[in-house]
Amino acid sequence: MSKTAFFDSLAEQRPDPLLELIAKFAADPRSGKVDLGVGVYRDEMGRTPVMRVVKAAEHYLWETQESKSYIGPEGDPAFLRTLALEVFGEHHGGRLISGIQTPGGTGALRLAAELLARDKRRKIWIGTPTWVNHQAIFAAVGLQMGTYRFFDIGKQIVLVDEMLTSLQNAAPGDAVLLQTSCHNPTGAGLSPQTWQDIAAVIAAKGLLPLFDNAYQGLGRGPIEDAAGMMTIIEAVGEVMVAVSCSKSFSLYRERTGAVYLLGDIQASLDKGIGNLASHARASYSMPPAHGAAIVAAILQDPSRRPAWVDELGEMRIRMAEIRRAAAEAFARFRPELAGIGSQEGMFSVLPISPENVRQLQAERGIYMPDSGRINVAGMRMEDVASVAERVGPYLT
């Protein structure tokens, strides 16, 4: 029998740079190596622990869950209801809301992208730099992308005027991707005035915002982190929000997320959710149930919810402390990097060339993606000074 190679004519694919970094780091035998790559929270011991409240909820589920039968493409209504309450508050900006559970935040973004493509949206506008997977997700559904510069890495400042001008040049009906908080990769927050300015442009131009909400609660606090998004929700027509529970509940591998649609016309939201559900059915049928059941068991319970709020706070406070120390240590090499201290969440981005990133990795055992993004939670407090000493000479 002749040998076949049906797939040999396919284009070779590069592994995702962030995921590739995990394997490279694991294979490095050096003891002083530091992983500032993929965005997972690490504690002072360098671990990514299961939250105590998640363990308690799993225990409860083990005792009470009576069936593993299907949950349907739209997922668990209790999860969707309780998560919406956390994310948007009781009145969700006075808008109607409908949601669908998804396999993680990436699944939420992909489903939202599929809806934009089905809805024949012309284009989605994306600020750069952005999360390495954003462009791949929208490219996969054939959406055109418009980009604008969001952040000056050398100066560590948000380019507010460039962003507003780009949005003003968008065509009515275009979508615009925004990040709710803890911007990936820059950590940059926006002022209340800037959020209002963005809301005004979106409303005036009739754009459709899609929020990537992956870090709520890890910046300034759960309500504070959503304030900018709520400004937009209150001011514009319809809004899509992709929520991830990976970081805020440390549920990374459980793939727990949701897409919410907010607006004023129930029939429009229902059609949107119906289309999202039909796409889900045709791609993965229905979302994994376990993570969502954990989230619902936490948020519905009067003792577990406060325990979760406390643990989320512990993560937030640790990252803010590391940030302050890192800002001071890195500013010795580049004064602009003092800005790391006022940024929020897991990430900041350093002015460093991809060549120097690789050299730094080879020579000093510090791992980060080529973009120069660092996960501040990847450092223990005792490592901050030595990491900055090792990275400093490679900055551009």
308 is catalytic: no
Report the interhelical angle of 384-391 vs 304-331 (nearest 10°): 40
**Residue 124 or 368 with smaller CB distance to ligand LMR:** 368
Are 79 and 99 a contacting pair, CB within 8 Å?
Answer: no
* Residue 123 CB, nearest approach to ligand LMR (Å): 24
**Residue 48 or 353 with smaller CB distance to ligand LMR:** 48
* Residue 105 CB, nearest approach to ligand LMR (Å): 7
Residue 46 CA to chain centroid, in angstroms?
Answer: 21
**Residue 20 or 234 with smaller CB distance to ligand LMR:** 20
Output the CA–CA distances (angstroms, integers) from residue 217 to 103, 221, 323, 395, in the order listed. 20, 4, 16, 31
State the Cα–Cα distance between residues 286 and 227, nearest whole angstrom: 31
Q: Which position among 131, 195, 308, 383 bears the catalytic label? A: 131
* Residue 38 CB, nearest approach to ligand LMR (Å): 4
Q: Which position among 35, 76, 247, 308 bears the catalytic label? A: 247
* Residue 130 CB, nearest approach to ligand LMR (Å): 10
State the Cα–Cα distance between residues 208 and 205, nearest whole angstrom: 9
24 is catalytic: no
Q: Which position among 35, 212, 225, 383 bears the catalytic label? A: 212
Pairing between β-strand 239-244 and β-strand 256-263 as defined by DSSP bridges: antiparallel
Pairing between β-strand 157-158 and β-strand 151-152 as defined by DSSP bridges: antiparallel
**Residue 18 or 207 with smaller CB distance to ligand LMR:** 18
Terminus-to-terminus CA distance in the chain, angstroms?
58
Pair of tokens at residue 285 = 């049928």
* Residue 140 CB, nearest approach to ligand LMR (Å): 15
**Residue 92 or 373 with smaller CB distance to ligand LMR:** 373
119 is catalytic: no
Residues that bind ligand LMR (CB under 6 A): 18, 38-39, 131, 133, 184
Residue 236 CA to chain centroid, in angstroms?
Answer: 22
Which residue in 343, 351, 345 sits closest to 392, CA to CA? Answer: 351
Closest residue to ligand LMR: CB criterion: 39
Radius of gyration of the chain (CA): 21
Active site residues: 131, 212, 247
